[in-house]
Structure 1
Amino acid sequence: MRSTSQFPALTVLPSHSSSINIDQKVDLLGLPFAQLEAQLDSWGVGKAQAKRVFRGLHVQQIPLHDINSLGRHADTIAELGHIAQARLLTAVKSPDGTEKLLLEMYDGAQIEAVLLPMRRDRYTLCVSTQVGCGMACTFCATGTLGLKRTLSSGEVVAQVYQAHQYIKAKEGNARSLSHLVFMGMGEPLHRYERTRDALQVLLGQHGLCFSARQVTVSTVGLVPAMRKFSEDFQGRVQLALSLHAGTDATRQKIMPVAKKWTLAKLKQALLDHPLPGRRVLMLEYVVLPGLNDTPEELDGVAEFQKGLRALVNLIPFNPFKNSPFRSPTEAEVLAVDQGLKARGVASSIRVTRGRDKSGACGQLAIEGFNADRQAQGLNES
């Protein structure tokens, strides 16, 4: 792990100070291209400058005043807009290569993101969308924090760019960031429009152009937002549903949101979700021994999956402080996997990574950094 001073700062910085409060300014980094065109036009800068500004912010990632041929327009844009920041404070690395990043927003709010090394010299970034989470799922450490605030679309984009720059700084061109999974802190569809705008920026042809096929968005099951997501992205971006139970009764015990959105309503939303080509839905299922691994629950999962082109992804529960559950044994997870397959359900087991640094699925709660920094003598005075 490196000290804070060794990390590269996000190079896109505000070009000059302004008397306007940042909360009153337009979040430039989070504006999809068409919205940026309209905003620049309304400021008298003109739509013609949009491609130049967008490329400067998202591809070159340079300050406004360094963008070629922008001239005096840079002053206008900097006065009325701001460029979101996600400052990398520190990182901890697991023996399996997983790295948990601690990032700070402009107001001091902190989030975690997780880098997962993949084959072919690539990385997946587990992206956070909120500071904390308001869904209060009992098997998730983030849910114990409550919701502090939702990240702006620009802060989500800045988080991705900071991870991208971190990889470049430490590995050059040897590895690249290719996959994004919106499975970090927070519920991505809680403030759907912010996640939507961030996705449009990241996938847009004028920016870094992440492939939609390599992006996944997970949700606890907010049906109205799921339907908007389906309409906006038409199945190009993979949708993952946090299922976690085969009956409404059990799901309501561990996921408060399930009291509003039943399995029947969720299934109908998934049946209506477009799946182009060979794309499939992902049904996430954290294995909680003695609770959701019973024959009744597995029967319910099989019934839910019937008629859906979906894969059930089994996640061994990852422990956190004061959790009411225990982690399943390997045999218990295999039993669930075999039980589902015996019922005709396509299933897989997610490999647990980063657990020792509280960086595995369900463990993100701004923990595990101080101890590592103290052990390595990296605390600042």
Structure 2
Amino acid sequence: MTNLSVLPAISSQKPDELTGWLAQSGEPAYRADQILRWVHKGSISGWSQMRNIPDSLKKKLSSHFSFSSVKLVHKQGGIDTTIKFLWKLSDGQYVESVLIPASPSLYGETSDRHTLCISTQVGCAYGCKFCASGLEGFKRNLNPGEVIDQVLGVEALFKKRISSDRRLITNLVIMGMGEPLANYDNLLDALNVLNSNWSANIGARKITISTSGLVPQIIKLSDQPKQYRLAISLHGATDEVRNKIMPINRKYSLSKLSDAVEIYQSRKNGSITLEYILIEGINDGIDQVPHLAILSERLRAKVNIIPYNSVEGLGYKRPSITIQERFVRALIDKGVRATLRREKGHDIDAACGQLRLKAEKKLDSGEN
């Protein structure tokens, strides 16, 4: 998936939309299924590889649609840990995705599960103090094709390596660059495609949407029919702590956020995850544990403790292993379903947005 264009991405076309375009172009409706099969399941890199599509139709397609809205410009990491992808968009902006395998080196489990973490925005407007994504402010929302093509791009890369019809990505987490629910409509359009059996066919309960706490959008998400899982980027168990590091909390306090999550929980009856990045001297004190335990019990939520990945230019640090394990043990002792993410992401600039910032600095300095 290599060609960049300002044309709409073919991946974002739904069957009825593509059928309508084919009719207007004087082409038979059955071609829609063939085209979408190549795009979403064929793991090809361009129009020319669509073997059962006539050249005349390929020419029409290429003049109306881009084959991909993202171009891979950098990949780092290893298949046994995590792999980070840096994508270039048609306007020269960059976003990141991260592939996370389920392996003993990461989570102490063995399975064929591969989770892809994808981005929804270039930059971020919400200004969490510890985060790299918003260091240069908010640039723009991703369109549906740019969200979808992160998934298809990773699939295409690995199909070439493993020569298998089996799909690599089993789970999707919307926790990359940006605030997902601030790009609500485009995100839901993309997920409806990726959830479809003619596309990636990723089950709704295997798709987790993260938010820093946009209360109206959480309630709106609870009204749509899909059973997407919800994760809250919490990072503080009291308003005092959250106010220091997450400006969104001044608008939507923990009380308002908890009320919205309860509404979502009551309508979806799915598992809620509280994501808690552990930052030295900020939110790693044992005093946070009782408050976090109360929240977890109220929301029937599991807690994912994530050691902080340092960001160049920011003074925050991850706590020692001893403090990390003490914090998690204190939660477990209070009956909380808590896990400590044993990742190696800090070895590959895994703090979201760092790879993008490095790429932009190289461009600004004239490096290739």
Q: State how 1:141-220 maps to structure 2 within 5 Å.
A: 141-173=132-164, 176-220=168-212
Q: Please point out which of 14, 26, 42 is paired with 1:60.
A: 42
Between stretches 337-346 and 138-147, larger displacement belongs to: 337-346
Residues 112 and 262 of structure 1: CA distance in aligned 2, closer, same or farther (over 3 Å): same
Sequence identity of aligned pairs in percent?
32
Which secondary structure does the structure 2 equivalent of 1:221 belong to?
Answer: coil
Cα distance in structure 2, aligned partners of 1:246 and 1:293: 10
Cα distance in structure 2, aligned partners of 1:357 and 1:368: 12
Residues 258 and 365 of structure 1: CA distance in aligned 2, closer, same or farther (over 3 Å): farther
Amino acid at match of 1:285: Y
- Please say if residues 328 and 340 of structure 2, whose CA atoms lie closer than 8 Å, have aligned partners that are also in contact: yes
Residues 35 and 328 of structure 1: CA distance in aligned 2, closer, same or farther (over 3 Å): farther
How far does residue 307 in structure 1 lie from its aligned partner after superposition? 2.6
- Please say if residues 273 and 304 of structure 2, whose CA atoms lie closer than 8 Å, have aligned partners that are also in contact: yes
Considering only aligned residues, what root-mean-square deviation do their CA atoms show, in Å?
3.4
Give the match for residue 5 of structure 1.
none
Cα distance in structure 2, aligned partners of 1:341 and 1:61: 43
Q: State how 1:310-325 maps to structure 2 within 5 Å.
A: 310-325=301-316
How far does residue 72 in structure 1 lie from its aligned partner after superposition? 6.3
Cα distance in structure 2, aligned partners of 1:167 and 1:95: 10
How far does residue 312 in structure 1 lie from its aligned partner after superposition? 0.9
Residues 45 and 243 of structure 1: CA distance in aligned 2, closer, same or farther (over 3 Å): farther
Residues 329 and 73 of structure 1: CA distance in aligned 2, closer, same or farther (over 3 Å): same
- Please say if residues 96 and 353 of structure 1, whose CA atoms lie closer than 8 Å, have aligned partners that are also in contact: no
Which secondary structure does the structure 1 equivalent of 2:264 belong to?
Answer: coil
- Please say if residues 112 and 366 of structure 1, whose CA atoms lie closer than 8 Å, have aligned partners that are also in contact: yes
Residues 33 and 251 of structure 1: CA distance in aligned 2, closer, same or farther (over 3 Å): farther
How far does residue 46 in structure 1 lie from its aligned partner after superposition? 8.0
Between stretches 134-143 and 94-103, larger displacement belongs to: 94-103
Matched, 1:240 2:210: no
Q: Please point out which of 77, 97, 110 is paired with 1:93.
A: 77
Amino acid at match of 1:200: N
Q: State how 1:299-314 maps to structure 2 within 5 Å.
A: 299-314=290-305
- Please say if residues 121 and 183 of structure 2, whose CA atoms lie closer than 8 Å, have aligned partners that are also in contact: no
Between stretches 298-307 and 29-38, larger displacement belongs to: 29-38
Q: Please point out which of 232, 240, 249 is paired with 1:249.
A: 240
TM-score of the two chains, using structure 2 as the length reference: 0.83
Residues 72 and 167 of structure 1: CA distance in aligned 2, closer, same or farther (over 3 Å): closer
Give the match for residue 271 of structure 1.
262
Between stretches 166-175 and 44-53, larger displacement belongs to: 44-53
Give the match for residue 348 of structure 1.
339
Which secondary structure does the structure 2 equivalent of 1:366 belong to?
Answer: helix
1:352-381 per-residue CA deviation (whole Å, 9 max, x = no partner) reads 22211212x54634256799xxxxxxxx97
Give the match for residue 276 of structure 2.
285
1:127-146 per-residue CA deviation (whole Å, 9 max, x = no partner) reads 11222222211121222132
Which secondary structure does the structure 1 equivalent of 2:236 belong to?
Answer: coil
Give the match for residue 377 of structure 1.
none
Cα distance in structure 1, aligned partners of 2:123 and 2:95: 8
- Please say if residues 284 and 319 of structure 2, whose CA atoms lie closer than 8 Å, have aligned partners that are also in contact: no
Amino acid at match of 2:295: F
What is the number of residues matched between the two proteins?
355
Give the match for residue 221 of structure 1.
213
Q: Please point out which of 109, 114, 123 is paired with 2:93.
A: 109
Which secondary structure does the structure 1 equivalent of 2:310 belong to?
Answer: coil
Q: Please point out which of 354, 366, 371 is paired with 2:356.
A: 366
Amino acid at match of 1:364: Q
Q: State how 1:42-61 maps to structure 2 within 5 Å.
A: 50-60=32-42
Which secondary structure does the structure 1 equivalent of 2:116 belong to?
Answer: strand
Which secondary structure does the structure 2 equivalent of 1:88 belong to?
Answer: strand
Cα distance in structure 2, aligned partners of 1:225 and 1:367: 29
Give the match for residue 120 of structure 1.
111
